[in-house]
């Protein structure tokens, strides 16, 4: 369809002896003003993106958008002008060093579009990559960067979603990129690309995965004071805020960081953060914001208070629902600099918007991708007894292997191959999108990730997925992690006899998944969590001493047993 109407673009790409900046190669008009929809044609049939919808989402011409850690610039052109490249093997001038090449893309033609391209480095070497984008109207919401509510057509505007996607492909470590040759892929449209920094000089100390986009208060002119527990420490800090799943920009007027004294009280006066040297930031829908590096000593294994002021009305926000940690909401006003807890009367049990705390230095991080057992369900509130917390303490107390930061990417209710929340709109379910659909965002894009531990699948089999479906998903995760240079470990699934959905048939599938994990050789190492906590006299159930009481989740003692079962040399 895309080739059916040559008039929708700006003509063929200009002839050139060498690579050109992407904007010099734009040959398609994807964005139209709502009152002049005929001036753009993304898909060859006259349909286009709404400029007004993009503006409402914060995606304005020339706007820098950080998505999955890559700083990408939305085309600086007016509606109805060429704003993207139809991938046809063009050579694009790109520079920088990093761990990945990031793209803003979509496909037009009713199906995924993709192909193989080439990266050329300054030293003359090359590497191949595979880039694929879902269709702008039929692709999944779970992996999109942003969803727009309308499609413009010459016959009128349609109330039909349109989606843009972020994609990353690996780069050779340490080499400086000189240019990128796009795939020859009919239907693949490229709006922006850039090198993603490797995160060198930083280690992830704390993280939370966005699990949904629920309705809130609404909050208006409020300050959130979130309590988070570090793993490794360092002399500098930066924070990450994500507007994942959001449909509108989120404005943070100011933010601070402090060490917790007790409750919402700070040990000392909170220190102000900045964003591009400004006191606050507007985060476009689907994008993220990193604070500027701040000289602030972050102690290891310590609670921080991260306070940020939301000056406008916020009716819904991206959240990590299950914090197992009390945080706080203020009375009206900017209370980011308050030392005392007086202005924070309301307790929160989730972590909205904040997704990461990075510290200067260190060897990098281990990411735990999991479900409620990793998330800490049934562990003691405010005690930081999730198994990744205990693992972090073990790493800090030894010297045989690097003292990695440990990042918890667990989401209660999460599954490997399916999701209840599809990734669009107000979320009544906060189980997150599937591990397959969130892997790039929650693992590959984490700061200085070195190793990933995959501990998921019990929810899949509890909801009638076959073992073969789960193992196929786990295999894909391992392959995607290996392609990015990560060390990939898998943990066996725990027994759960006695829980309502854990029937004998479910246990048969669980055992089959565990046999595959132990014997397939797909992962670089196996953590046998099943063996660590099962009742030796009744292997289908958790040992009573480790059971929280619901027969599915270990209690504090059982979670510690999981962490203690990790052979640190595998990390």
Residue 374 and residue 342 share a domain: no
pLDDT-derived band at 17 (thresholds 50, 70, 90) equals low
Instruction: Tell me how many domains the chain contains.
Output: 3
Residue 275 and residue 338 share a domain: yes
Predicted local distance difference test score (pLDDT) of residue 6: 31
Domain stop point among 318, 352, 386: 352
Query: Token pair 């060498």 is at which residue?
Result: 18
Q: Confirm whether 441 is domain-assigned.
A: yes
Q: Confirm whether 357 is domain-assigned.
A: no
Query: Token pair 């995959």 is at which residue?
Result: 454
Predicted local distance difference test score (pLDDT) of residue 11: 39
Residue 222 and residue 161 share a domain: no
Residue 438 and residue 389 share a domain: yes
In this structure, the dihedral spanned by the alpha carbons of residues 240, 270, 330 and 279, taken in order and rounded to 10 degrees, is -60
Mean pLDDT of 400-410: 97
Check whether 212 has a pLDDT greater than 70: yes
| Strand (E) or helix (H) holding 559 | helix 556-564
Residue 459 and residue 429 share a domain: yes
What is the dihedral sign for C-alpha 436, 438, 442, 446?
Answer: positive
Residue 173 and residue 220 share a domain: no
Q: Confirm whether 480 is domain-assigned.
A: yes
What is the pTM for the complete model shown? Answer: 0.95
- Whole-angstrom distance, CA of residue 37 vs CA of residue 41: 8
- Whole-angstrom distance, CA of residue 109 vs CA of residue 1: 6
Predicted local distance difference test score (pLDDT) of residue 29: 98
Mean pLDDT in the chain?
Answer: 96
Residue 384 and residue 278 share a domain: no
Predicted local distance difference test score (pLDDT) of residue 8: 39
Summarised one tens digit per residue, pLDDT across range 173-210 is: 999 999 999 999 999 999 999 999 998 999 999 999 99
Check whether 425 has a pLDDT greater than 70: yes
Summarised one tens digit per residue, pLDDT across range 497-527 is: 999 999 999 999 999 999 999 999 999 999 9
Q: Confirm whether 282 is domain-assigned.
A: yes
Residue 390 and residue 485 share a domain: yes
Q: Confirm whether 505 is domain-assigned.
A: yes
Predicted local distance difference test score (pLDDT) of residue 404: 98
Predicted local distance difference test score (pLDDT) of residue 422: 94
Q: Is 405 exposed, middle or buried (0-12, 13-18, 19+ CB in 10 A)?
A: buried
Residue 267 and residue 173 share a domain: no
Predicted local distance difference test score (pLDDT) of residue 557: 98
Predicted local distance difference test score (pLDDT) of residue 13: 44
Check whether 120 has a pLDDT greater than 70: yes
pLDDT-derived band at 570 (thresholds 50, 70, 90) equals very high
Domain stop point among 143, 172, 196: 196
Predicted local distance difference test score (pLDDT) of residue 99: 94
Summarised one tens digit per residue, pLDDT across range 121-150 is: 999 999 999 999 999 999 999 999 999 999
Check whether 100 has a pLDDT greater than 80: yes
Non-local (6+) Cβ contacts of 519 within 8 A are: none
Q: Confirm whether 127 is domain-assigned.
A: yes
pLDDT-derived band at 12 (thresholds 50, 70, 90) equals very low
Q: Confirm whether 346 is domain-assigned.
A: yes
Predicted local distance difference test score (pLDDT) of residue 5: 33
DSSP 493: P
Mean pLDDT of 377-406: 98
Q: Confirm whether 487 is domain-assigned.
A: yes
| Strand (E) or helix (H) holding 66 | strand 64-67
Check whether 476 has a pLDDT greater than 80: yes
Residue 497 and residue 411 share a domain: yes
Residue 216 and residue 173 share a domain: no
- Residue 34 in contact with residue 52, Cβ under 8 Å? yes
Domain stop point among 352, 379, 403: 352
CATH code for the domain of 508: 3.40.50.1110
Residue 438 and residue 376 share a domain: yes
pLDDT-derived band at 231 (thresholds 50, 70, 90) equals very high
Mean pLDDT of 305-315: 98
For residue 223, the enclosing domain spans 212-352
Percent of the chain with pLDDT over 70: 97
In the three-class reduction of DSSP (H, G, I as helix; E, B as strand; rest coil), residue 190 is classed as: strand
Mean pLDDT of 483-497: 97
Query: Token pair 């397959």 is at which residue?
Result: 436
């Amino acid at each position: 369809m895309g080739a059916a109407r040559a008039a929708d673009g700006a003509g063929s790409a200009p002839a050139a002896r060498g690579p050109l900046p992407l904007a010099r190669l734009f040959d398609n008009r994807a964005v139209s003003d709502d009152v002049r929809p005929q001036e753009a044609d993304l898909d060859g049939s006259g349909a286009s993106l709404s400029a007004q919808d993009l503006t409402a989402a914060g995606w304005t011409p020339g706007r820098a958008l950080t998505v999955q850690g890559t700083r990408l610039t939305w085309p600086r052109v007016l509606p109805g002008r060429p704003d993207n490249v139809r991938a046809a093997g063009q050579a694009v001038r790109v520079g920088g060093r990093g761990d990945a090449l990031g793209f803003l893309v979509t496909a037009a033609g009713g199906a995924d579009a993709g192909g193989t391209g080439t990266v050329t480095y300054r030293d003359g070497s090359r590497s191949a990559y595979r880039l694929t984008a879902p269709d702008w109207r039929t692709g999944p919401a779970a992996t999109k960067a942003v969803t727009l509510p309308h499609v413009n057509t010459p016959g009128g505007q349609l109330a039909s979603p349109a989606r843009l996607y972020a994609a990353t492909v690996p780069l050779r470590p340490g080499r400086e990129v000189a240019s990128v040759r796009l795939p020859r892929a009919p239907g693949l449209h490229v709006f922006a690309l850039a090198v993603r920094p490797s995160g060198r000089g930083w280690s992830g100390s704390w993280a939370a995965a966005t699990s949904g986009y629920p309705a809130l208060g609404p909050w208006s002119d409020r300050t959130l004071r979130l309590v988070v527990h570090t793993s490794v420490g360092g002399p500098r800090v930066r924070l990450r805020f994500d507007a994942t799943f959001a449909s509108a920009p989120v404005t943070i007027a100011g933010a601070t960081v402090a060490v917790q004294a007790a409750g919402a009280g700070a040990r000392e006066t909170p220190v102000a953060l900045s964003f591009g040297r400004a006191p606050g930031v507007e985060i476009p829908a689907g994008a993220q914001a990193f604070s500027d590096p701040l000289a602030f000593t972050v102690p290891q294994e310590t609670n921080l208070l991260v306070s940020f002021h939301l000056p406008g009305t916020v009716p819904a926000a991206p959240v990590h629902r299950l914090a197992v940690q009390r945080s706080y909401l203020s009375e009206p006003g900017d209370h980011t600099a308050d030392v005392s807890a007086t202005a924070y009367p309301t307790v929160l049990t989730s972590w909205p918007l904040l997704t990461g705390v990075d510290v200067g230095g260190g060897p990098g991080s281990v990411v735990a991708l999991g479900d409620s057992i990793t998330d800490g369900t049934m562990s003691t509130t405010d005690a930081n007894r999730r198994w990744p917390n205990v693992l972090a303490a073990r790493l800090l107390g030894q010297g045989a292997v690097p003292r990695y930061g440990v990042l918890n990417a667990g989401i209660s209710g999460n599954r490997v191959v399916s999701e209840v929340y599809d990734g669009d709109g107000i979320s009544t379910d906060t189980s997150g999108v599937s591990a397959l659909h969130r892997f790039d965002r929650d693992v590959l894009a984490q700061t200085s990730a070195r190793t990933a531990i995959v501990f998921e699948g019990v929810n899949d089999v509890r909801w009638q997925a076959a073992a073969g479906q789960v193992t196929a998903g786990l295999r894909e995760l391992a392959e995607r992690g290996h392609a990015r240079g990560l060390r990939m470990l898998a943990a066996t699934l725990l027994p759960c006899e006695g829980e309502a959905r854990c029937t004998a048939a479910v246990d048969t599938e669980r055992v089959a998944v565990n046999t595959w994990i132990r014997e397939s050789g797909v992962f670089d190492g196996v953590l046998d969590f099943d063996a660590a906590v099962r009742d030796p006299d009744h292997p289908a159930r958790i040992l009573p001493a480790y059971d929280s009481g619901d027969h599915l989740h270990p209690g504090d003692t059982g979670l510690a047993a999981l962490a203690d079962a990790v052979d640190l040399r595998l990390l």
